[in-house]
Structure 1
């Protein structure tokens, strides 16, 4: 569970990046392409020649867009699961410690200060770790 909780801030960033990439794909309908091909003169002497070709080509982004949308949905589901887990913690102090640590991304020392303690090991060991140990057998 700890590993899942640690992903929260990364999930927020990934969701933002995926939304931006999907938006770019929606705006990109055509691409400009260049290439060179080899051919020959139509009449004798049939000399080999290189020709440059260029043009606008429609871009089919449906497959990649679908893949990105699926990944976005998975990230959002996991983010909601983490938020639901923290929200379902019955004890207010424990819920605050988890929110500060995973949603706000604070280190242990600022968390200890916010809950009125000076020892950073108190929120980590006495609240956080004990809560995870109690729920582990249930999961």
Structure 2
């Protein structure tokens, strides 16, 4: 899992919501089928990101990733994440995140 994929989470969820709304508009079968297939594909990507974050063993690291990518519709600031995990320095969660991503990227190669 690379950072770019993680950063797509909110947009993927929003796109699923938008496509589900379109489905309710009474499209013809072909268009509805295409949209359902797209929703399935996007849902798999969302699940992959959620599984990646949920598989992080260390609770603090998992919480950092959760707050950064999944917590709200807008990206949570490093300062806000620091406060949420009981730290005061915004560089702490950023350093933990950066270190974890380096480990993940080197093990995936």
What TM-score do the two structures reach when normalised by structure 2?
0.90
Instruction: Give me the whole-angstrom Cα distance separating, in 2, the residues matched to 1:129 and 1:11.
Output: 23
Which structure is higher in strand share?
1
In structure 2, the gaps of 5 or more residues are none
d(CA) in 2 for partners of 1:10 and 1:102? 10
1:94-132 deviation per Cα after TM superposition (whole angstroms, max 9, x unaligned) = 00000010001311110011112221111012x101001
Q: Distance in 2 between matches of 1:25 and 1:128?
A: 44
In 2, Cα distance between the equivalents of 1:25 and 1:81?
A: 30
Kindly report the root-mean-square deviation, in angstroms, between the aligned alpha carbons of the 2 structures.
1.0
Q: Which has the higher contact order (CA 8 A, sep 6+)?
A: 2
Aligned to 1:130: 99
Structure label with greater radius of gyration: 1
Shift of 1:70: 1.0
Which of the pair is proportionally richer in helix? 2
Deviation for aligned residue 1:25: 2.3
Structure 1 segments unaligned to the other structure (5+ residues): 27-60
Match of residue 17 from structure 1: 18
1:115 matched residue in structure 2: 85
> What TM-score does the superposition give when structure 1 sets the normalisation length?
0.71
Instruction: List, as ranges, runs of 4+ consecutive aligned residues in structure 1 with deviation greater than 4 Å.
Output: none
Match of 1:96 among 50, 63, 72: 63
Paired with 2:40 and 2:107, the residues of 1 have a C-alpha distance of 27
